[in-house]
A and B are shown apart, each in its own frame.
Chain A
Amino acid sequence: AQSVSQHNHHVILSEAASLELGCNYSYGGTVNLFWYVQYPGQHLQLLLKYFSGDPLVKGIKGFEAEFIKSKFSFNLRKPSVQWSDTAEYFCAVNGASSASKIIFGSGTRLSIRP
């Protein structure tokens, strides 16, 4: 079955701390992987994406993620978080076909203490 697991439901960090949010997926065939962010009261925004090539992808606002195929993982990282990173983070996966479904993880709420 197709699924995305985000193990951390709520993460609380202090400013300048390092961040790593876990994401594991189950999806047959070639996959595209995404991390989206949803700031309070706003719609989804794409942080970064992986389609092919270098498994370490860099996104906006200093975020990066590493695709480890053998572990079916796509963890999100940021070396030093800021208060403005407080948001909900969603990992998502879909197949290569334009008609393939995009499956979202349950989300991780990140709270940053000033």
Chain B
Amino acid sequence: GAVVSQHPSWVICKSGTSVKIECRSLDFQATTMFWYRQFPKQSLMLMATSNEGSKATYEQGVEKDKFLINHASLTLSTLTVTSAHPEDSSFYICSARETLTGTEAFFGQGTRLTVV
């Protein structure tokens, strides 16, 4: 199957700093990518839909100025957590669907963010 790669797998940062997480579709093009957040022992909550070449669509309650999303190419989307606080500590997962077939979604391995 297709591969979605996230980097880094884990990151620890200080409060107030910003962290960028990359999501790449390695062997297919993805016009649309999705960013999820997963709290311990909970389900994946959709944060935003990343659209190549245009603004991301954020879910209700997600601060767009805090979670900056850029989808500059058909294979790369980035999520930047700005001015991170301990409550932003979580597991962030990206997903991508192939532009042409658009059926199955493929998931990255996730990024564990810890803000201290």
A101 touches B104 (CB 8 A): no
Q: Does A102 sit at the interface, judged by CB under 8 A?
A: yes
* 8 Å CB contact of A98 from B45, B99, B109, B110: B99
Given that A44-B93, A99-B51 are known contacts, is A107 also in contact with B42, CB under 8 Å in the complex?
A: yes
B98 touches A106 (CB 8 A): no
Encoded as 1 (CB less than 8 Å from any B CB) or 0, chain A from 58 to 100 comes to: 0000000000000000000000000000001010001011110
B48 (CB) vs chain A CBs: closest residue = A101
B105 (CB) vs chain A CBs: closest residue = A102
5 pairs, CB–CB < 8 Å, chain A vs chain B? A44-B44, A49-B104, A90-B44, A98-B102, A102-B95
Binding site for B on A (CB under 8 A): 32, 34, 36, 43-44, 46, 49, 51, 88, 90, 94, 96-99, 101-107, 109
